[in-house]
């Protein structure tokens, strides 16, 4: 069964999962190990840092969005990828692993990219759809010169939005190369439309010295012109989109202030999907990989408050007993869609791959993949 860009699970698949549900952890673990052994190097399991420990233990390689995309682009050995992450990540891996030159080198054979649970989406990615972005572009064209406007989509977006960027000379970015992507854009055009995460865009542009007054916020639900006055658009440099990550919006400025009172010498590091008021109070901000690196490289005994997803923070606590690690917020916030990937779904997907009956294959439709590839290749070239 192959699923295009939709994330709706087919009833037949739900039914097929039933026999796996009563299985305990020990049995699931040994069955996954057996299926992995049977496939050997033909199978590549990629795991995002937000995956739960039991799942990440099975990943051959783990990383942030940028690293996982480049791993999918560069692996020449594997015959199948299981992506322990969310839907947009699997789409990106499919586009890169099955790009035309790779297909030609394999005599047309595709590398299936499997997302163990099709319900593993991203609420931020869902905050901009292609119709809204096309409509925004058309309305902007009534006020500003869109020939001098470059679209940037955060990788947390559908393949259709990446294809839109590819068609309009634009680029995809991740949290680890957002600044480089905006600089790349300004070397070509004088204005940027950045979707769907307002916070990553605002935080990055502010760090580049662009004032808030030149960053109007486009609301795709407003009746016209994104709820903005024409002047706000003519004076703009980076047009933001009303989108946010519901996990990272939990972190508040008062969490940083409370930590600082308790540990004046401590360090605060947050993901750039957090709101501006949090990022500007933190010592550092960066992608999941940058957060891990900062903790790894700090002198032992450093007190850290970390503002990102709970599974990653807990893993850092466990893997770095030489550091004092605290979760920045007072309420737990884990990414519930990342959490959907569990041992039950992983076992079901790797056993089916080993049996030659893959389930939950994410395959982006060719026209969309062509446009998206252009913008993704630019992303991989810009760091």
| Residues forming the site for ligand SF4 (CB under 6 A) | 86, 122-124, 156, 245-247, 273, 309, 335, 337-338
- Contact yes or no for 100/108 (Cβ under 8 A): no
Instruction: Tell me how far apart the alpha carbons of residues 358 and 113 are, in angstroms, rounded to a whole number.
Output: 9
Instruction: Tell me how far apart the alpha carbons of residues 91 and 377 are, in angstroms, rounded to a whole number.
Output: 14
Minimum CB distance to ligand SF4 smaller for 43 or for 117 = 117
- Whose structure tokens read 């079901």? 348
Select the binding partner of residue 65 from ligand 13P, ligand SF4, none (C-beta < 5 to 8 A, by kind).
ligand 13P
Select the binding partner of residue 70 from ligand SF4, ligand 13P, none (C-beta < 5 to 8 A, by kind).
none
Strand partners, 362: 3
- Whose structure tokens read 């996990």? 247
- The CB-of-125 to ligand 13P minimum distance in angstroms stands at 9
Minimum CB distance to ligand SF4 smaller for 236 or for 308 = 308
- The CB-of-211 to ligand SF4 minimum distance in angstroms stands at 26
Instruction: Tell me how far apart the alpha carbons of residues 165 and 270 are, in angstroms, rounded to a whole number.
Output: 28
Minimum CB distance to ligand 13P smaller for 82 or for 350 = 82
Closest by CA to 99, choosing from 357, 319, 375, is 375
- The CB-of-100 to ligand SF4 minimum distance in angstroms stands at 29
Minimum CB distance to ligand SF4 smaller for 245 or for 379 = 245
Instruction: Tell me how far apart the alpha carbons of residues 193 and 195 are, in angstroms, rounded to a whole number.
Output: 7
- The CB-of-69 to ligand 13P minimum distance in angstroms stands at 9
Instruction: Tell me how far apart the alpha carbons of residues 90 and 88 are, in angstroms, rounded to a whole number.
Output: 5
Instruction: Tell me how far apart the alpha carbons of residues 197 and 320 are, in angstroms, rounded to a whole number.
Output: 31
- The CB-of-247 to ligand SF4 minimum distance in angstroms stands at 4
Minimum CB distance to ligand 13P smaller for 178 or for 354 = 178
Select the binding partner of residue 323 from ligand SF4, ligand 13P, none (C-beta < 5 to 8 A, by kind).
none
- The CB-of-262 to ligand 13P minimum distance in angstroms stands at 26
Minimum CB distance to ligand 13P smaller for 91 or for 273 = 273
Minimum CB distance to ligand SF4 smaller for 28 or for 84 = 84
Minimum CB distance to ligand 13P smaller for 154 or for 259 = 154
- The CB-of-99 to ligand 13P minimum distance in angstroms stands at 21
Contacts of residue 288, defined as CB under 8 A and 6 or more positions apart, other chains included, come to 48, 49, 50, 64, 175, 271, 308, 309, 312
Instruction: Tell me how far apart the alpha carbons of residues 377 and 94 are, in angstroms, rounded to a whole number.
Output: 13
Select the binding partner of residue 287 from ligand 13P, ligand SF4, none (C-beta < 5 to 8 A, by kind).
ligand 13P
- Whose structure tokens read 């990055």? 204
Minimum CB distance to ligand SF4 smaller for 87 or for 267 = 87
Name the site residues for ligand 13P (rule: CB under 6 A).
49, 64-65, 156, 174-175, 245, 271, 273, 287-288
Select the binding partner of residue 337 from ligand SF4, ligand 13P, none (C-beta < 5 to 8 A, by kind).
ligand SF4
- The CB-of-311 to ligand 13P minimum distance in angstroms stands at 12
Instruction: Tell me how far apart the alpha carbons of residues 203 and 141 are, in angstroms, rounded to a whole number.
Output: 26
- The CB-of-72 to ligand SF4 minimum distance in angstroms stands at 17
State the DSSP string of 255-313.
HHHHHHHH-TT-EEEE-TTS-HHHHTTSSEE--HHHHHHHHHHSPTT-EEEEES-HHHH
Measured CA distances, 46 to 77, 173, 312 (Å)? 14, 20, 16
């Amino acid at each position: 069964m192959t699923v295009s860009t939709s994330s709706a699970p087919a009833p037949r698949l739900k039914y097929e999962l039933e026999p796996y549900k009563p299985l305990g952890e020990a049995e699931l673990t040994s069955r996954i190990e057996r299926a992995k052994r049977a496939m050997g190097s033909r199978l590549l399991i990629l795991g995002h840092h937000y995956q739960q420990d039991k799942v990440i233990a099975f990943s051959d390689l783990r990383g942030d969005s940028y690293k996982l995309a480049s791993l999918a682009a560069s692996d020449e050995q594997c015959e199948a990828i299981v992506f322990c992450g969310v839907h947009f990540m699997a789409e990106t891996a499919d586009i890169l692993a099955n790009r035309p030159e790779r297909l030609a080198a394999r005599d047309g054979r595709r590398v299936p990219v499997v997302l163990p649970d099709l319900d593993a989406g991203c609420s931020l990615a869902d905050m901009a759809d292609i119709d809204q972005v096309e409509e925004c572009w058309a309305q902007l064209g009534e006020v500003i010169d869109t020939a001098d406007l470059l679209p940037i989509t955060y990788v947390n977006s559908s393949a259709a939005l990446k294809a839109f960027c590819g068609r309009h000379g634009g680029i995809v970015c991740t949290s680890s190369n957002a600044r480089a992507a905006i600089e790349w854009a300004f070397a070509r055009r004088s204005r940027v439309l950045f979707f769907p995460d307002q916070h990553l865009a605002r935080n990055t542009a502010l760090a580049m010295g662009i004032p808030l007054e030149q960053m109007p916020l486009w609301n795709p639900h407003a009746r016209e012109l994104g709820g903005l006055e024409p002047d706000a658009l003519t004076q703009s440099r980076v047009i933001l989109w009303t989108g946010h990550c519901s996990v990272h919006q939990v972190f508040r400025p008062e969490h940083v202030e409370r930590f600082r009172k308790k540990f004046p010498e401590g360090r605060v590091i947050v993901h750039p999907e957090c709101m501006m008021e949090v990022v500007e109070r933190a010592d550092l901000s960066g992608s999941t990989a940058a957060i891990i690196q900062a903790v790894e490289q700090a002198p032992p005994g450093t007190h850290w408050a970390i503002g990102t997803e709970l599974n990653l923070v807990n893993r850092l606590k466990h893997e770095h007993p030489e550091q004092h690690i605290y979760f920045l917020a007072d309420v737990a916030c884990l990414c519930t869609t990342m959490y959907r990937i569990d041992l039950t779904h992983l076992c079901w997907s790797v056993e089916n791959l080993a049996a030659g009956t893959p389930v939950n294959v994410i395959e982006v439709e060719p026209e969309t993949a062509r446009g998206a590839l252009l913008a993704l290749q630019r992303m991989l070239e810009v760091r």
